[in-house]
Amino acid sequence: MQDILQVLYATIEAQPPDVRYTVYPLQLGLELEYWTVDNTGVLAPAKPVLDRIDSLHAESADPMLEIVTDPCDDVSQLREEVTTRLRAAIDVAREENRRLVPLATPLNAGSISTSDSPRTRIQRQVLGERFANATYCAGTHLHVDQIDGAETDQLNLLTALDPAFALVASASHHQGDDVARCARSHIYRQECYGSHPELGQLWPYVETTADWDARISSTFSTRSKRCTSASRTPNQHMRFTDETLTQEIPYDLIRSLGRWCAVHRLQSSHRLHGRH
């Protein structure tokens, strides 16, 4: 993490004086995803742990939880907060006959149960059967404070750092098969979002924030007009249903999903967020 920050600072300091940015302190945040297993090592729902710690987040996969930090002013503060929250999660997990496992992909080759949240239902309808692949991916997301006036430099730099996956690859198998040196990014980008590269794969560099906004508007305005589930015929509209709601997925919701994927497309790597 320190190395990543050093690269960011060096890039900013290398700018001409007339475009130098005031960036200190640069806030940081982490999201840490862990598989939950029972005392025998079998994947087990994370719900008993999630129900007891409000700061934990649920994920699409039932046997997974996410530890999320608040924005921190430096690495030392971030390390302290991560340690405190992780220890609390480990302690509660033990009380609930659970263990936390920090693997990029699970060791088992079977299916994984998923939640039925609105977000999961939308993703399932957009991606079809491919969405199941996302439930086999876990990772660590580093949030870096967005710097006013330096957004494109940050975005382009973090995109350029994508090959760092080669240095942090933590699992090569997916459902029992050796698929890639870093199975997580391969499965997420190629198997899950392979037919939707605008949602789950890297985009080209940008020159200005206006270019980025225009790219998002163009891409997802078009997609929102034609998005139908991969498992449906073109004349069938996407729909999601629960006990109180049956309606077509609105334009703004599809656009929001596209924007979320565009901003968070460096799955299990580095992601930008604005100051909280």
The count of domains in the chain is 1
CB atoms within 10 A of CB 169: 16
> What contacts 86, CB < 8 A, 6 or more positions away?
32, 67, 100
pLDDT at 24: 55
Residue 155 lies in a domain: yes
Amino acid, single-letter form, for residue 275: R
151-160 helix and 2-13 helix, angle to the nearest 10 degrees: 130
Residue 23 lies in a domain: yes
Task: Tell me the average confidence (pLDDT) per consecutive run of 10 residues in the chain, 276 residues long.
Answer: 56 56 72 95 95 93 95 91 96 98 84 84 87 87 85 88 73 84 84 85 90 87 47 33 34 43 38 32
Report if pTM > 0.75: no
What's the CATH number where 107 sits?
A: 3.30.590.20
pLDDT at 249: 37
pLDDT at 17: 58
The enclosing H or E element of 14 equals none
Residue 172 lies in a domain: yes
Residue 192 lies in a domain: yes
> Which is it for the CA torsion 7, 180, 265, 61, positive or negative?
negative
Residue 189 lies in a domain: yes
pLDDT digit string (tens) for 10-52? 655 565 555 555 555 678 899 999 999 999 999 999 999 999 9
Domain that holds residue 162: 2-116+131-207+263-273
- Of 274, 190, 252, 270, residue with least CA distance to 30: 270
- Of 61, 57, 41, 47, residue with least CA distance to 111: 61
Residue 123 lies in a domain: no
- Joined tokens for residue 201: 């794969």
pLDDT digit string (tens) for 111-132? 888 887 888 888 888 888 888 8
Residue 215 lies in a domain: no
- Of 31, 92, 37, 94, residue with least CA distance to 67: 31
**Residue 46 burial (C-beta neighbours within 10 Å; 0-12, 13-18, 19+):** buried
- Of 244, 251, 191, residue with least CA distance to 217: 251
Residue 79 lies in a domain: yes
CA 46 to chain centre: 18
- Joined tokens for residue 144: 């870096």
